[in-house]
Structure 1
Amino acid sequence: MPLGRRALLAAPALLAVRPAAAESWPARPVRLIVPYAAGGGTDLLARAIAEALRPALPHPVVVENRAGGAGVIGSEVVARAEPDGHTLMAVVSTHVANRYFLASLPYDPIRDFTPVALLSRNTMMLVTGTAQPHADLRAMLDYARRNPGRVGTGSTESLSSFIGQELARRAGVEMPDVQYRSGGQLMNDIVAGHLPVGWTSTASVMPHMPTGRVRVLAASTATRTPFFPEVPTVQEGGIAEFDLSGWVGLYGPAGLPEAVPARLHQALTRAFADPVLQQRFTAMGIEPNLKPAAGLIEAAQREDRLWAAAAAAGTIRKEQ
């Protein structure tokens, strides 16, 4: 339908609103959607950052858990939100991988979101309970080999699921994937002795170490993590060239004004430099890795290439 004269005259004024609004961001509290259950590593990171941002912003950042569907339910909320900077989300790297694992998505993980900042690196840890009959990775794999299908591997999203199944494939053992909604829930079952082993982030593991009922068997990366320097890598356990890790990124809806990520990155830079937040990160087992939007774009593109190659090789398949 052709635009009337009044609409045409009003258009420049409407276009001028968005930059002005971006400069005054935030005009009200910011919703930070965490599309996973409370208590996991991403949730802990988001809440620590939200608190640290209070002195730098005129309105608070309020964390909201919208768990379900491997992060899809909460992510869809953000994809459909108004791109004014008042609805953001913190997601793990499997936000990108979901397109290769799930039968369908209600959004495009790249096109329908605006990258804001890379927040942290996620070294994944293989954990077990101290009551389980395996003291190290080799012993666990030997036990799983003698008991095919009886050693379930806990996971919380596509990355930890892939790591667990890739370890089993390379070691030549059968270890069924046991899916959880969050690292907190997975760790509760590890502590209680209901789950034989599981892969989760350092941040999810750290709060449970004082119980004395958790044993960490291996790190997923090529080098040991500083949070568990005594824990060998999977490579050290005999699986050559095993090097998998993730990240947590901050996104907004597509069309987010450029001024919002720029302003938020400035506030994040100040917050991440605060010794109090640095101490919290260390206590929680979080590996900060703050980078601007360009750094998150690079990480997402690298992740996309990894999963595309795995799909092409047939090592991962979409759900039916």
Structure 2
Amino acid sequence: MRRLFLALALLAPMPAFAWPERPITIINPYAAGSSTDAAARALADSFTRELGQNVIVTSQSGASGVVGMRALTQAAADGHTLAYAPLVPLVFQPHLVRNTGLGPDALAPVCNVTENILGIMVKADSPIRNLTDLVAAARQRVLNYGSPGPNSAPFLGVHRIQAAAGGQFTHIPFRGDNASLLEVIAGRLDFAAIVVASGVPMARAGQVRLVAVFSEGRHPAFPDVRTAREQGVDALQPSYAALFAPRGTPPAVLERLEGACRRAMDTEGFRRFTENWGAVPSFRPRAELAAMLAREYEAAGRTFRELGVQPE
């Protein structure tokens, strides 16, 4: 009789995979209204339709993304809390701040979504037309520039220019890209080192001009603007943004999220986001994202050691 019951049990259909069971939250660890926030909302719209549960985006900003990503590390590993963020809190901040609890292995990668191409923008009527002009000017006088903060990815891009080509630069940190761009437009800064997507609206309005990017490829919204390397300056500083889940999230949930992420990037809503913000889609599955996280973490550590930066 026991064998009969066992045989019947094996023949019985398995219960359906029951995730998600309730609404999902995507944490945006940066300011509301930012390009990161807009990307998270584009993903959330698609996920809501595909997964059959409401997906809500909430901003938990602070400490260059550390606050929001720390919140994700403390969330239940059941796939109902996620975070969308640049890699900065995981690959930069652990080298800068002690005991963040973050790093390449602190969370479960889901998928890379965009490349946040970094670049340099000047006022539309600036005599600086390209990177050659900028380096020449910086050799004649100190250029003042703004970035999202010391040791941010755009800041490191300018460091790479200085290391490769020389020049004198004074860094002024700002809270977000828009603040430094407004100072460029007002004529109080020579240039801003930013995520290019943040400056697309002002560039389209004729207020600022892009002169170089730190990526391996040109920004599709500015196909005529050459990369730093194309302009003879070895200043490569990549920057990516991705979706993450708490460490320990079941592989089946991660696999379903990865597929949903890939399909979300093919939706009309996501395409509108990329067009409006000048974002560059760059899908990478979770295994590839994990390998990239490890590489970028090691590369950031080497750069900060060159700069003499010690964690505080």
Whether the TM-score (by the shorter chain) exceeds 0.5 is yes
Aligned to 2:184: 190
Q: CA deviation at 1:311?
A: 4.1
2:291 maps to 1:302: no
Q: CA deviation at 1:47?
A: 1.8
Give me the whole-angstrom Cα distance separating, in 2, the residues matched to 1:187 and 1:53. Answer: 33
User: Secondary structure of 1:64's match?
Assistant: strand
Per-residue deviation, residues 221-253 of structure 1 (Å, max 9, x unmatched): 2332222111111123331x3322111111112
User: Secondary structure of 1:53's match?
Assistant: helix
Check conservation: 2:92, 2:300, Cα contact below 8 A. no
Q: CA deviation at 1:51?
A: 2.0
2:3 maps to 1:32: no
**Identity of matched residues, %:** 26
Aligned to 2:7: none
Aligned to 1:128: 122
Look up the equivalent residue of 1:179 and give its one-letter code. P
Distance 1:115 1:142, change over 3 A: same
**Candidates 28, 36, 39, aligned match of 1:42:** 36
Give me the whole-angstrom Cα distance separating, in 1, the residues matched to 2:195 and 2:201. Answer: 11
- Structure 2 counterparts to residues 1-320 of structure 1, below 5 A: 23-99=17-93, 101-148=95-142, 150-156=143-149, 158-239=152-233, 241-312=234-305, 314-315=306-307, 317-320=309-312
Gaps of 5+ in 1: 1-19
User: Secondary structure of 2:117's match?
Assistant: strand
Distance 1:268 1:234, change over 3 A: same
User: Secondary structure of 1:36's match?
Assistant: coil
How many aligned positions are there? Answer: 297
Check conservation: 1:183, 1:204, Cα contact below 8 A. yes
Per-residue deviation, residues 23-76 of structure 1 (Å, max 9, x unmatched): 322222222111111233322211222223221122222111211111111111
Give me the whole-angstrom Cα distance separating, in 1, the residues matched to 2:174 and 2:245. Answer: 26
Give me the whole-angstrom Cα distance separating, in 1, the residues matched to 2:311 and 2:189. Answer: 24
Bigger mean CA deviation after superposition, 160-169 or 173-182: 173-182
Aligned to 1:17: none
Distance 1:34 1:190, change over 3 A: farther
Look up the equivalent residue of 1:49 and give its one-letter code. L
Per-residue deviation, residues 266-309 of structure 1 (Å, max 9, x unmatched): 22222222244224313321111222211210210121231233
Distance 1:25 1:182, change over 3 A: farther
Q: CA deviation at 1:194?
A: 4.1
Q: CA deviation at 1:135?
A: 2.8
User: Secondary structure of 2:239's match?
Assistant: strand
Look up the equivalent residue of 2:290 and give its one-letter code. I
| TM score, norm. by length of structure 1 | 0.83
Q: CA deviation at 1:99?
A: 4.4
User: Secondary structure of 1:114's match?
Assistant: strand
Give me the whole-angstrom Cα distance separating, in 1, the residues matched to 2:183 and 2:25. Answer: 30
User: Secondary structure of 1:31's match?
Assistant: strand
| TM score, norm. by length of structure 2 | 0.85
Per-residue deviation, residues 122-174 of structure 1 (Å, max 9, x unmatched): 221211222444233222222232222x4124235621121122212322222
User: Secondary structure of 1:176's match?
Assistant: strand
Check conservation: 2:120, 2:213, Cα contact below 8 A. yes
Check conservation: 2:50, 2:260, Cα contact below 8 A. yes
Look up the equivalent residue of 1:78 and give its one-letter code. L
Distance 1:203 1:49, change over 3 A: farther
